[in-house]
């Protein structure tokens, strides 16, 4: 009888110990799960904040082409709209106005760890976006101009009949061989053209085709309100990316030195030659960058974390 009682007490004590072990194990598992979940959420939110900082900085460098105030405005508007509970925003613009640094901070409220006394943690993100020369572009229009220091946002005439004065620049239609010249005007060269590549002048010129193609570019702009040189949709058909070459030559190959963006306002005819009236504009595009290439106003975006 005493032996039975001893066995019963031993089993009872073991069950009690097992229950305690199970309870402790569950408690530890819950703590670890809470830690994993909160750490995971924290990593996700930090990633989102970093992306928001990068997007804001990219918008800032777009605005930087119009001035510092525009850059500050675009960054602030985007940050407030995109990031919830934003409590820290620092914007720095380089002295030469070619780079923007955005620092963001916000509080992250723990989901489960707050029950263990951990309330929140600060999330920070910092990114610098720099404007740099592009080394290549897909979709250039088949018109080359000779390298020079362009004055932006002022009227120019690209002429095929000999430039006269500071606001006239000679252009040369280009031969790309794969499709007809008019299609190149409308849709651009479908392959990537790189700095240091060689291009050739068009031998069989047709001024009527040139003017028709350019007029179609103007007509294709159906945006409302109508695009202008200082307020246009980035992919507007009237914005031509053209190669800038070392020297215009109808006979010899020409080396691409860089790329420029030219806003087409209208086409004119003079002595049977097509003239293109418009303005060189500063523009940022999505393309590979290279600081060693000359910059003629068309820039790419380089992200530095």
Give the model confidence (pLDDT) of 263-276 as tens digits. Answer: 999 999 888 889 99
Identify the burial level of 175 via C-beta atoms within 10 angstroms of its C-beta, where 0-12 means exposed, 13-18 middle and 19 or more buried: middle
* Domains of the chain as residue ranges with CATH: 2-131 (3.30.1300), 136-304 (no CATH)
What is the C-alpha separation between 305 and 297, in angstroms, rounded?
25
DSSP letter assigned to residue 122: E
Q: How many CB atoms are closer than 10 A to CB 157?
A: 18
Q: What share of the chain is helix, strand, coil (3-state, %, to 5)?
A: 35, 35, 30
| Chain segment 192-213, per-residue pLDDT in tens | 999 999 999 998 888 899 999 9
| pLDDT tens track for 49-101 | 999 999 999 999 988 888 899 999 999 999 999 998 898 999 999 988 889 99
Where are any strands of DSSP class E within the chain?
86-93, 99-109, 120-133, 136-138, 143-146, 155-159, 168-175, 192-194, 198-201, 239-245, 254-270, 273-281, 283-285, 298-304
Q: 168-175 and 192-194 as β-strands: parallel, antiparallel, unpaired?
A: unpaired
pLDDT digits (tens, 9 = 90+) for 30-63: 777 777 777 788 888 899 999 999 999 999 998 8
d(CA 53, CA 105): 10
Q: Which residue has the higher pLDDT, 163 or 256?
A: 256
């Amino acid at each position: 009888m005493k032996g039975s009682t001893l066995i019963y007490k031993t089993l009872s004590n073991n069950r009690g110990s097992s229950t305690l072990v199970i309870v402790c194990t569950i408690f530890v598992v819950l703590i670890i799960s809470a830690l994993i979940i909160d750490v995971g959420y924290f990593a996700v939110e930090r990633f989102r904040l970093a992306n928001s900082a990068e997007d804001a900085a990219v918008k800032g460098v777009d605005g930087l082409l119009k001035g510092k105030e525009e850059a500050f405005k675009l960054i602030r508007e985007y940050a407030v709209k995109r990031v919830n509970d934003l409590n820290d925003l620092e914007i720095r613009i380089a002295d030469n106005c070619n780079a923007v640094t955005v620092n963001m901070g916000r509080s992250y409220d723990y989901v489960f760890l707050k029950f263990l006394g951990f309330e929140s943690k600060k999330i920070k993100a910092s990114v610098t976006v720099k404007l740099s020369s592009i080394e290549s572009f897909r979709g250039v229009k088949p018109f080359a101009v000779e390298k020079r220091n362009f004055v932006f946002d002022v009227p120019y005439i690209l002429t095929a009949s000999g430039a006269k004065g500071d606001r006239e620049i000679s252009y040369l239609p280009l031969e790309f061989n794969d499709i007809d010249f008019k299609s190149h005007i409308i849709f651009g060269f479908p392959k990537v053209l790189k700095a240091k590549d060689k291009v050739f002048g068009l031998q069989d010129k047709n001024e009527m085709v040139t003017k028709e193609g350019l007029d179609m570019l103007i007509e294709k702009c159906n945006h409302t309100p109508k695009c202008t040189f200082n307020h246009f949709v980035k992919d507007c058909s009237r914005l031509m990316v053209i190669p800038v070459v070392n020297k215009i030559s109808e006979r010899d190959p020409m080396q691409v030195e860089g790329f420029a963006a030219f806003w087409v306002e209208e086409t004119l005819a003079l002595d049977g030659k097509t003239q293109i009236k418009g303005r060189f504009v500063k523009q940022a595009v999505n393309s590979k960058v290279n600081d060693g290439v000359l910059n003629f106003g068309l820039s790419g975006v380089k992200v530095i974390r």
